[in-house]
Structure formats: structure tokens, C-alpha cells
Amino acid sequence: MNVINFKREISDTVDHAVERATKALAAEGFGILTRIDMHSKIKEKTGQDIAPTVILGACNPHLAYEAYIANSDVASLLPCNAVIREAAPGRVSLEFAAPSGMMRMLGDQKLTELAAQADTRIQRALANA
């Protein structure tokens, strides 16, 4: 089975869930490199509305370095995305990319092994967000 993300649903607002996710990822060594308020961009570019959705580009610099040294093609798969979106009023879906799912695309066993370490950290962050 090729898992592409880990997810869970919580009772919260998107804004507060973004704060929780950011703190939980930081506790596992991930910094936030980018933030995209997808719902705002979709509205701006298409005039269409979607549920509030924020995409955070998270990176653990130590794991990213190890992966890059092992295979520089990994750069096109970084950073890992964490998606926080409103699932229903008062309910938020937290969806964190599974690094191992992304690394399998490159067919590099060393990267897949490194990604397993990142998976563990991502899953802990998700549980604590």
C-alpha cells in the first residue's frame, strides 16, 4: 500500500489548527518554509469559493540534507506539505504528506529508508496537533 498522507479530523478552526500544526511540526524538527492560503488564491484567480484550506510547506533541514545528499532529485519533492482544511463547520482535517510515499516515486531505497524516519516524526506531529 502506498500511503500518500496521514490524516485526522479535529474539532477546531482552521486558523487555530494551523497554529497547532505549526507547533507540533516544530517539536519534531520541522520548520514552515511556505504558507499558501489556497482558498484565497482560488478565489482571487478563478472567482470560485472552496472551503478554507491552508497548505504549509514543512521541512526538517537535517532530514532534507540527508535526502539531498543521497539523491539530489529529491529537491523536486520538498518540502513536505501539511494541509489544514475545513471539513465542516467546527471540524478541521489535518492532512500531512507521507514522505515515504513521495520518495518511493524516485525508486531510491536509501531515500525510502530516510523517509521512514520522517514518517515517524510526521505521524507524531499529527497526533500532537
- Extents of the domains making up the chain: 5-128
Cis peptide before 52 (omega within 30 of 0): no
pTM (predicted TM-score): 0.91
**pLDDT, position 1:** 53
Pick left, alpha or beta for residue 13 (phi over 0 → left; psi -120 to 50 → alpha; otherwise beta).
beta
> Contact at 8 Å (CB) between 27 and 58?
no
Rounded distance between C-alpha atoms, residue 25 and residue 31, angstroms = 7
**pLDDT, position 46:** 98
> Contact at 8 Å (CB) between 94 and 128?
no
| Residue 69 CB partners (closer than 8 Å, separation 6+) | none
Q: Residue 35 corresponds to which cell in the numbers above?
A: 504558507
Residue 119 has pLDDT above 90, yes or no: yes
Q: Average of pLDDT values for 9-19?
A: 98
Rounded distance between C-alpha atoms, residue 38 and residue 53, angstroms = 5
C-alpha closest to that of 3 among 114, 105, 101, 124: 101
Beta bridge partners of 58: 32, 80
Q: Average of pLDDT values for 82-96?
A: 97
Give the homologous superfamily in CATH for domain 5-128: TT1751-like domain (3.30.310.70)
